Amino acid sequence: MEQRESGVVERKRRRRKCLLVFGVVLLLLLILALALGLTLGRSSGGIKNTFLERCQKFKDLNCQNVWDAFQQAYIDRDPCSIPGDAYEPFITALSLKLQCNRMMFWSKTKDLVHSFTQKQDCFVTVEDVPLGAILDGLTWCGKEGSKETFTTGCPGWSDCANNPVRSFWNQASAAFADAACGDVSAMLSGSIETPFSPGSVFESIEVRRLRSPKVKRMNVILVMEENAVTNCTNASLENLQKVLNAGISYGCKEVTEAQIHKCSSDPKIACGACW
Ligand SMILES: *[C@@H]1O[C@H](CO)[C@@H](O)[C@H](O)[C@H]1NC(C)=O
Ligand SMILES: *[C@@H]1O[C@H](CO)[C@@H](O)[C@H](O)[C@H]1NC(C)=O
């Protein structure tokens, strides 16, 4: 009798222990799932938040509509077959304004040109208008059979030609160049062998879209650093003149990096007086 009694107690105790372990494991799994869900949620929610925050800095934009137009370019599609024109509804929603005499193109001078355009209200690059500002530095893609935006596991710039990010920048650069008028500028680097660099967005897209008589002149600002290897006589810049639409005049100026920094930090220097 005593034996049986203690047997029952023992079994009850074991069952309770079993339940406890089961409960703890369940709780841990729940926490893990929650944490995973949160990080996943945050990574796709992250790009939408960034997008909307950047968009809302510009007045007159219906940012929810802009986001919807953006998403439909790549959502539920193979991330290696996004053509540039998939972004047309998004580009249209942002209605690029003509920026006569203020447009600044760049190649291999990204940080310098932006430190200049962001401090001096003289020139605008594609990254200074909503079209480029909203997506600068971001990565995104969709997947077939999913309604989500992914920010990791997306094809890189050169993994496949028609990836969502590359197709976007090609299309955006073309639209930006199409909106150019008057005198345009281009900040190129004197620290590389070939300042008019073959295959760059500037060389392969932007320069080729400029049309005379809407565009009158191309002013190249060749940035000379301590380690400059070339100058305005470089043959690649002769190629640039050949590619330019007939009727667009051309000029090139060598400007030191120090001079550009000086112009960025001195608001008294008038627009265009830096070179
Ligand atoms: C420009 O560079 C070439 C060689 O690349 C050199 O011969 C020439 O003197 C330079 N011109 C000026 C004005 O510095
Ligand atoms: C100048 O341009 C030519 C042709 O585009 C290039 O091959 C050359 O290496 C460039 N640079 C210098 C420093 O000569």
Positions annotated as catalytic residues are: 100, 181
Residue 274 has pLDDT above 90, yes or no: no
Compute the mean pLDDT over every residue in the chain, rounded to the nearest whole number. 89
Domains contained in the chain, CATH given: 43-265 (1.20.82.10)
Residues 130-147 as b or e (16 or more Cβ within 10 Å = b): bbbbbbeeebbbbbeeee
Give the model confidence (pLDDT) of 127-176 as tens digits. Answer: 999 999 999 999 999 999 999 999 999 999 889 999 999 999 999 999 99
Q: DSSP for 207-272?
A: HHH--TTTEEEEEEEEEE-TT----TT-HHHHHHHHHSPTT-EEEEEEEEHHHHHHHHH-TTSPTT
Q: How far is the CA of 241 from the centre of ligand 2 (A)?
A: 15
pTM of the entire predicted model: 0.82
pLDDT at 64: 96
- Which ligand 2 atom minimizes the distance to the CA of 234? 1
Cβ(233) – ligand 1 distance below 6 Å: yes
pLDDT at 9: 56
